[in-house]
Amino acid sequence: MNNKQTVYIIDDDEGIRDGLSMLFESIGQQSQSFKSGNAFLDAYNEKMTGCLVLDIRMPKMSGLEVQRKLKQLNCTMPIIFITGHGDIPMAVEAMRLGAIDFIRKPFNEQVLLDRINEALVLDEKQHATKSNEHKEKSKVDSLSTREREVFERVTDGSMNKVIAADLGISERTVEVHRSHVMEKLEARTLAQLVRIKIMYEQLA
């Protein structure tokens, strides 16, 4: 378990919430409980890290609806659903939407803890990837206007002489700008530049 991350418990059953809170407290894992999906969504912000233990069947807003809302908010925290006997078709749908598991009530505590540990590891990896992507984006944003023009054309496959004619500058100047671009983006090959551009466009 990772104490820096939080396990968010979302269940309308107070007994479930209290029981899970006590379980996590007993192993030193930080957790936070919510009695409804709306209560969690009101508190949600993109800086949250950890995972969700989410009841699939709740009044007013089901666990599936919470999951869909979070996807719209680009939330990537892993979700583990806890379900009753008759909720399996809903749980399968939740898995299709990206949930990492569903666990049937009454659940084995160790099984739940093992899955939560996996979810926290996944969240940590996703968070690190996202952080790295934003660092790469900031590097591209730091390029000068001319460097950006060269970057765009180089990654589109244009030759230096074509870029020079296109921009009305010498081929040597293009080479200098290209060198600066690769240095700023810490790229050694054209393939790396192309990957950076693709990532940048996905984040835009």
Peptide bond between residue 89 and the one before it cis (omega within 30 degrees of 0) = no
Q: Helices (H), strands (E): how many in the chain?
A: 9, 5
Average pLDDT over residues 48-63: 93
Residue 28 dihedral angles phi and psi, to the nearest 5°: 80, 20
For the ranges 31-40, 120-129, 152-161, the lowest mean pLDDT is seen at 120-129
Q: State the virtual CA torsion across 95, 50, 7, 59 in degrees, nearest 10.
A: -50
Residue 200 has what pLDDT? 87
When pLDDT is cut at 50, 70 and 90, the band that residue 15 belongs to is very high
When pLDDT is cut at 50, 70 and 90, the band that residue 191 belongs to is confident
Residue 34 dihedral angles phi and psi, to the nearest 5°: -140, 140
Average pLDDT over residues 160-182: 94
For the ranges 36-45, 83-92, 133-142, 146-155, the lowest mean pLDDT is seen at 83-92
Average pLDDT over residues 53-72: 93
Enumerate the CATH 3.40.50.2300 domain ranges in the chain, comma separated: 6-130
Residue 2 has what pLDDT? 54
What secondary structure letter does DSSP report for 104? E
Which CATH superfamily groups domain 6-130? Answer: Response regulator (3.40.50.2300)
Distances (CA, A) of 69 to 63, 64, 73, 127, 166: 10, 9, 6, 20, 46
Residue 1 has what pLDDT? 59
**Token reading at 198:** 């693709």
Residue with tokens 């659940």: 107
Query: For the segment 77-89, what is each residue's pLDDT rounded down to a tens digit?
Result: 999 999 887 777 8
Query: Model-level pTM?
Result: 0.69
Enumerate the CATH 1.10.10.10 domain ranges in the chain, comma separated: 142-203
CATH among 1.10.10.10, 3.10.450.50, 1.20.1290.10, 3.40.50.720 for 142-203: 1.10.10.10
Residue 7 · residue 31 · CB < 8 Å: yes
Residue 70 has what pLDDT? 95
